[in-house]
């Protein structure tokens, strides 16, 4: 399971979510990649990212789950733990 956060340099919601997501990923042992819109426009286009922040879970390099916007740490932890178990990771 790979987790990608689509973010932006001047996005307040992204700046708030990123440390939460980093902490959750560290605790559950998941890989996290943060892609900034300004540096990765091709990836944003490839995944049709129109607003940010977007958190996506990939399995075998294919999108499996995504969430747009902010989310509480408890809710994010619960969802990612569930997905990790479901995907057998």
Could you tell me if 28 and 77 are in contact, meaning their C-beta atoms sit under 8 angstroms apart?
A: yes
Q: How many CB atoms lie within 10 A of CB 31?
A: 11
CATH code for the domain of 70: 3.40.30.10
Assess if residue 69 is contained within a domain: yes
**Parent domain of 62:** 2-80
Assess if residue 49 is contained within a domain: yes
- Residue 89 clears pLDDT 90, i.e. is over it: no
4-59 confidence digits (pLDDT tens)? 999 999 999 999 999 999 999 999 999 999 999 999 999 999 999 999 999 999 99
Residue (of 51, 57, 62) closest to 28 by Cα position: 57
79-88 confidence digits (pLDDT tens)? 999 999 999 8
Helix (H, G, I), strand (E, B) or coil at 42: helix
Q: What pairs with residue 57 in β-bridges?
A: 3, 65
* Backbone φ, ψ for residue 26 (5° rounding): -60, -45
The pLDDT of residue 88:
86
Assess if residue 86 is contained within a domain: no
């Amino acid at each position: 399971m790979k987790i990608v956060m689509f973010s932006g340099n001047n996005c307040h919601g992204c700046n708030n979510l990123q440390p939460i997501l980093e902490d959750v990923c560290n605790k559950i042992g998941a890989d996290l990649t943060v892609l900034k819109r300004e540096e990765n426009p091709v990836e944003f286009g490839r995944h049709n990212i129109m607003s940010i922040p977007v958190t996506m879970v990939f399995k075998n390099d294919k999108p499996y789950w995504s969430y747009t916007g902010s989310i509480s740490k408890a809710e994010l932890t619960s969802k990612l733990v569930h997905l990790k178990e479901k995907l057998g990771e």
